[in-house]
Structure 1
Amino acid sequence: MKKVLLSCVFLVSCTSVLFAQKAVTKSPAAAGVQSEVSRPKLVVGLVIDQMRWDYFYRYYSRYGSGGFKRLLNGGFKCENTFINYIPSYTAIGHSSIYTGSVPALHGIAGNNWIEQYSGAKMYCTQDDNANSIGTTSDAGKMSPKNLLATTITDELRLATNFKSKTVSIALKDRSSILPGGHTGEAYWLDDKTGNFITSSYYAQKLPEWVEKFNSQKRVEALVANGWNTLYDIKTYTQSSADDVAWEGRLAGKDNSAFPHDLKAAYAAKKTNFRNSPFGTTITFEMAEAALKAYNLGNNGVTDFLTVSCSSPDNVGHFYGPNSIEIEDVYLRLDKDLEAFFNSLDAKVGKNNWLFFISADHGAAHAVGFNEAHNIPTGLWNTKALEKELNTYLEAKYKLPELVTDIDNFQVTFNMNRLDSAQVDFTELKKYTIQLLKRKPEITFAVDVDQLGNAPIPGEIKEKIANGYNIKRSGSINIVLNPAWFEAYASTGTTHGTWNPYDTHIPLVFYGWNVKPGKTTRQVHMTDIAPTLAAMLHIQMPNACIGKVITEVADK
């Protein structure tokens, strides 16, 4: 009997071991585990410079089926996406989208800023040690060295041991360089030559495909026939009249009405090309050239293409958001977008590419437009205020030029002069704020060091803190009344404030592993990068403070 029992025990033991061995050696696929990380072939990030969220719907009935409507009907819409810092400017927007962070951490505190301890003026992508590649101008003396954090594009490269390719395209240097991060390659337009260029940070010569693209002289071709409306001008019913006092006028023209002689305007001033919808057209053409040259999305690993359309910002600044010009820009952009999507489908394959669209900031209505409709508004003259403050402070402290700059809605002081004279800095800031608070256009003026005690709404307080970089931001932050903005020109518009018209931005995810839907809960610009990181199964950028938009990533 014992022998029988022992035989049974031995048989059961052997069977268990054999079963366990089979389970261990089972293939990952058979066990229900993926053998490889699932990722799209290509990620495309599109940032429309100065796109207000409401442009999705303001012109919706006029869009075709293959551009914006393809996104809105087939993508996942985040309808309440906000910028969570101030000032809301281009360089910061592009940096924050791709780092998932804010100026306090990623270091891009404005398009320009004052280095607080040296007093040096700094442009966001300025690099005096870099050389221009593709031009004899200084337009290529740029790099991402001022960006202190990694981007989602950097993290993808790191995750694939640099096998992934990252290419960035824009008219503006900052809109190309900052999304591409520290490890990609970037190209932007040189106004002097009308060519796309780069920097010695990236390469010692232009790639052959860029030289070939430049040889087509597309800028000259695009301005040759001028700019008239895409459709009958009478159908542009979502806009103001064609010729109003608050719109800019091109060189040699005494009104703002269509048609616009772009050839003459470009001959008079090269930057006038940017004040047209054709800056967007050439940007997408250049993006398609990169797509083809590098076979993006077909290299056995996920690639990343970043595209920024800069011309909507230029046109908005020049004509304002209620202009027929802006409406025409978006109707043409819709067609360019459709053509670009068709190229992605053809070259990468439908459902093989992951896409998102957003904006770096919005825009206010033009002051003249507001005045015409009885909306409280005004222009803020920073140069006059700077002069007044210096006179005010000199009378008390007997020191000249204590304020070196008022920019980014911040007051910067001459710290070397104050230190040498041993001035009580806290007391000086209090004294400065006393004058600022008396200004009717200023809602709040706050010493950022005392922000926690300031009687300011919490949401605005958070945006001030997020936008304050201790080495690159002024010590006093100014918040203007709604619909007031900096008076750099009496026509057109600008941006930079905390208000919804500047900070409520579009955000739609589309394509690979994205199911149609929407959320109206508030999310932030800084949530884009961590959401992409979750979808791609890679690390978040190293200064990321954003949160994953689970409605998108958990599909």
Structure 2
Amino acid sequence: MKNPLSLLTLFALLVCMVANAQRNGKKRNQPIEDNSPPKLIIGIVVDQMRFDYLTRFWDQYGDGGFKRMVNEGFNCKNHHFNYAPTSTGPGHASIYTGTTPSMHGIIGNNWYDKEENETVYCASDTSFKSVGTVSEVGQMSPHRMVTTTMTDQLRLHTQMRSKVIAVALKDRGAVLPGGHTANAAYWFEGSDTGQWITSSYYMEQLPDWVNAFNASSTITDYKKAWIPLKDINSYVESGSDNNAFEGLFEDETTPTFPHSTPNLLSKEKDFEILKYTPYGNSLTTDFALAALDGEKLGTDRDTDFLAISYSSTDYVGHKYGVNSKEVEDTYLQLDKDLERLFAALDKKVGLNQYTAFLTADHGAIHVPAYLKDNKIPAGYLNSDQIKSDFIDFIKYRYGTTDIIKNISNYQVFLDHRVIANLDMDLDDVQEEIAMEFLKYDDVYKVFTGHQMWQNSYSDGIPYILQNGWNQKRSGDVMYVQKPGYASYHRTGSTHGSPMIYDTHVPLLFFGKGIKKGSTADRTEIPDIAPTISVLMGMAFPNGSTGKPISKVLK
């Protein structure tokens, strides 16, 4: 008789072997997760894009642009700038450095430089020459930005093997995202030239692919009438086409479609006008795709970075305003450009082999005149009257205007030497001036440099202003206009304030390493660079103050 214990043992071994085989089979059948970094990162900044442009025009968008990013990627619905001024230069710098003007130093598009005693531009640098043009508009570099960018960190992470190319109609929209180590930053010279150019900071001559693009008919082909993409009667998320709140092109008597003026149709002059149409964004997409091919981005083992800034949305917004059919049409046409961009990336880099993010450099206010007509408190800051009244006060109170060096960007710059020579206390002078500004009807809040030094704000307007206040570069007194007020002309929209309409912008992530989903938790502009840094497994930009958005990442 056989041993029953041996039979039981043999049976148990067979059961274990079958179970192991089943487990191993399941493992073999499971897809292997690809944890390698993306071949290419695409950073997209849409100039002056409010968050609600994503939702207002949703039904008009196609499936391959904004909707693809939302449906296949991650949507941060409560995304904000955590500083002011909310303008293009600081916006691009903050997105890419992962910090605020208080740290990276780009405190405006232009600002009064206390050391040079003159107004400076955020990207200007006369130590370099223009490349691709005989004008001075190519004399640019990122030297005023004192911290690194995520594009810099990518280059450092790969021993400079990664390529970084930045493209925008605006010079600052390319120079600042490209960082200090970019292989190239290109921007568009309008005027009567109509060429993509760069600076000798990056190279001594344009590459062949750029020369070929400039020599093609691509640019002149966009000098055509601006006709709506769809039936204008379907643009129900915008106001009337003919109203008093929009600007005019030359020779126009009404701000209505189609826009077809001599300068828009001319093939030989005024290429600047393209910036004020959706065709400026299409031209940017064309050039970005040419860069993708010309630089062979995303084709080797080291991750490359293509930074694209769409500037025409800002030009159109300034001219026509938040509620215009022109803005709606511009976003519908941009949606088609994004679809075209992603389709090309799918084909040339590979589906799920690239990662993209999309955000804005600031939002925008509704045209205050439009708000006022609809019984919403709004108006215009009379800056000239404020300055005149303020100078009269200074003369009366101190007997001299020498204590004032400059008034700009809603800030007062004092001459500290003069104040010391007059044996006055700087903190007292700042406070006295702040109290004077509070008397002016259109001024809502005022803060002093002393308050910025002594306090650490964590919310509200003071928090936003403090993040925008740089100890070495900012003024002594800062004032804020009332909500709904702007220092601007009576047509079109603007931006720059710490108010929520200027701070609330979209943030979408899409592609390799990104989860599908959304969040209504607050995220902030400086969080973008750390999130991409974690995705890449590289060091954060060296001045970064943001936090990675962990919900975004797989």
TM-score norm. by structure 2 comes to: 0.90
Aligned partner of residue 137 in structure 2, secondary structure? helix
Contact 1:444–1:456 (CA<8 Å) still a contact in 2? no
Unaligned runs of 5+ in 1: 1-33
Partner AA of 1:205 in structure 2? Q
Counterpart of 1:356 in 2: which secondary structure?
strand
Alignment of 1:505-520 (within 5 A): 505-520=505-520
Q: Contact 1:251–1:265 (CA<8 Å) still a contact in 2?
A: no
Distance 1:284 1:455, change over 3 A: closer
Q: What secondary structure does 2:222 align onto?
A: helix
**Preserved contact between residue 40 and residue 354 of structure 2 (Cα < 8 Å):** yes
Q: How far does residue 266 in structure 1 lie from its aligned partner after superposition?
A: 7.3
- Counterpart residue type for residue 261 of structure 1: S
Q: Return closer, same or farther for 1:371/1:456 CA change in 2, 3 Å cut-off.
A: farther
In the TM superposition, residue 499 of structure 1 has moved relative to its aligned partner by 1.5
Q: Mean alpha-carbon deviation: is it higher for 323-332 or for 493-502?
A: 493-502
Residue identity in the other structure for 2:282:
T
Q: Which residue of 2 aligns with 1:339?
A: 340
1:419 positional shift = 5.0
- Give, as a single letter, the amino acid of the residue that structure 2 aligns with 1:295: K
Shift of 1:392: 1.4
Aligned partner (choices 98, 101, 104) of residue 99 of structure 2: 101
One-letter identity of the residue aligned with 1:129 = S
Match of 2:274? 273
| Counterparts in 2 of 1:439 and 1:543: CA distance versus 1, 3 Å | same
Quote how far apart the aligned CAs of 1:498 are.
1.5
The residue aligned with 2:60 is: 62
Moved more, 297-306 or 405-414: 405-414
| Kept after mapping to 1: 8 A contact 2:386/2:440 | no
Using the alignment, how far apart are the partners of 2:122 and 2:210 within structure 1?
Answer: 25
> Would you say 1:236 and 2:254 are equivalent positions?
no
Instruction: Output aligned runs, 1:510-549, within 5 Å.
Output: 510-549=510-549
1:357 aligned partner: 358
Contact 2:445 2:480 in 1 (8 A): yes
Residue pairs, 1:211-226, within 5 angstroms: 211-223=211-223, 225-226=224-225
Q: 1:183 maps to what in 2? A: 181
Q: By how many angstroms is 1:390 displaced?
A: 1.6
Paired position in structure 1 for 2:127:
129
**Any residues of structure 2 matched to 1:27-106 within 5 Å, and which?**
38-106=36-104
Any idea what the Cα deviations from partners look like across 1:261-319, whole Å, max 9, x if unmatched?
25425768543221110110000100000000111000221000000000000000110
Could you tell me how far 1:217 is from its partner in structure 2? Answer: 4.3
* Equivalent-residue separation in structure 1 for 2:377 and 2:367 (angstroms): 12
In the alignment, structure 1 residue 161 sits paired with structure 2 residue 159: yes
Q: Equivalent residue for 1:424?
A: 425
Question: 1:26 matched to which residue of 2?
Answer: none
Look up the match of 1:24: none
CA distance in structure 2 between the partners assigned to 1:356 and 1:117 by the alignment: 37
**What is the alpha-carbon distance in structure 2 between the residues aligned to residue 262 and residue 307 of structure 1?**
29
1:202 aligns with 2:233: no
CA contact 2:430–2:449 (8 Å) conserved in 1: no
- The answer to whether 1:438 aligns with 2:439 is yes
Displacement after TM superposition at 1:423 (Å)? 4.3
Deviations, residues 119-138 of structure 1 (Å, cap 9, x unaligned): 22110001011111111111
Aligned equivalents of 1:47, 1:545: Cα separation in 2: 20
Provide the C-alpha distance between the structure 2 equivalents of 1:88 and 1:524, rounded to a whole number of angstroms: 13
Secondary structure in 2 matching 1:531: helix
C-alpha distance in structure 1 between counterparts of 2:452 and 2:482, whole Å: 19
Equivalent-residue separation in structure 2 for 1:443 and 1:148 (angstroms): 32
Q: How big is the shift at 1:64?
A: 0.7
246-255 or 96-105, larger mean C-alpha shift: 246-255
Other structure's SS at 2:350 match: coil
Report if aligned partners of 1:81, 1:522 keep a CA contact under 8 Å in 2: yes
Q: How does 1:490-501 map to 2 (within 5 A)?
A: 490-501=490-501
Report deviation, 1:221.
Answer: 1.6
1:377 matched residue in structure 2? 378
Stretch of structure 1 that moved more, 446-455 or 311-320? 446-455
8 A contact 1:115–1:471 mirrored in 2: no
Count, aligned residues: 520
SS of residue matched to 2:510:
strand
Q: CA deviation at 1:115?
A: 1.3
Q: Which residue type is aligned with residue 189 of structure 1?
A: F
> C-alpha offsets along residues 58-95 of structure 1, whole Å, 9 cap, x if unaligned?
01001111111111111111111110111111111100
**Counterpart in 2 of 1:19?**
none
Map 1:345-494 onto structure 2 (within 5 A).
345-400=346-401, 402-415=403-416, 417-419=418-420, 421-451=422-452, 458-487=459-488, 489-494=489-494
Give, in whole Å, the separation in 2 of the partners of 1:269 and 1:212.
Answer: 21
Paired amino acid for 2:137: A
SS in 2 for 1:412: strand
Q: Give the direction of change, closer, same or farther, for the CA distance of 1:237–1:105 in structure 2 (3 Å limit).
A: same
Q: Which moved more, 1:164-173 or 1:462-471?
A: 462-471
Residue type at the aligned position of 1:123? Y
The whole-number CA distance in structure 1 between the counterparts of 2:196 and 2:455 is 47
Q: Which amino acid letter does the alignment assign opposite residue 187 of structure 2?
A: W
Q: Distance in 2 between matches of 1:99 and 1:505?
A: 18
SS of residue matched to 1:188: strand
Partner of 1:149 in structure 2? 147
Q: Give, in whole Å, the separation in 2 of the partners of 1:191 and 1:422.
A: 52
Structure 1 residues 463, 307: closer, same or farther in 2, change over 3 A?
same
State which drifts further: 279-288 or 471-480.
Answer: 471-480
Contact 1:394 1:402 in 2 (8 A): no
| CA distance in structure 1 between the partners assigned to 2:458 and 2:38 by the alignment | 42
2:213 corresponds to which letter in structure 1? F
| CA shift for structure 1 position 452 | 7.4
1:386-445 CA-partner distances (Å, limit 9, x unpaired):
232122102222223643443332222344554555543223222212221011221211
Change over 3 Å in CA distance of 1:149–1:452 after alignment to 2: closer
2:123–2:144 Cα contact (<8 Å) kept: yes
CA distance in 1, matches of 2:395, 2:254: 44
| 1:326 corresponds to 2:327 | yes
Match of 1:264 in 2: 263
- Preserved contact between residue 383 and residue 406 of structure 1 (Cα < 8 Å): no
Distance 1:108 1:64, change over 3 A: same
Contact 2:402-2:418 at 8 Å conserved across structures: no
Paired residue secondary structure (1:87): coil
SS in 2 for 1:94: helix
The answer for the alignment partner of 1:31 in structure 2 is none
CA distance change for structure 1 residues 194 and 401 in 2, over 3 Å: closer, same or farther? farther
- 5+ long unaligned stretches in structure 2: 1-31
CA distance in 1, matches of 2:194, 2:359: 27
Q: Which amino acid aligns with 1:258?
A: F
**Matches of 1:53 and 1:60 in 2, distance apart?**
11
Cα distance change of structure 1 residues 364 and 401 upon mapping to structure 2, 3 Å threshold: farther
CA contact (8 A) 2:250 2:261 kept: no
Give the structure-1-normalised TM-score: 0.90
Q: Which residue of 1 aligns with 2:29?
A: none
d(CA) in 2 for partners of 1:191 and 1:421?
50
Q: Among the aligned pairs, what percent are the same residue?
A: 39
RMSD, matched Cα? 2.1
In 2 relative to 1, CA 522–416 (structure 1 residues): closer, same or farther, beyond 3 Å? Answer: same
User: Residues of 2 paired with 1:373 and 1:174: CA distance?
Assistant: 36
Secondary structure class of the residue paired with 2:546: coil
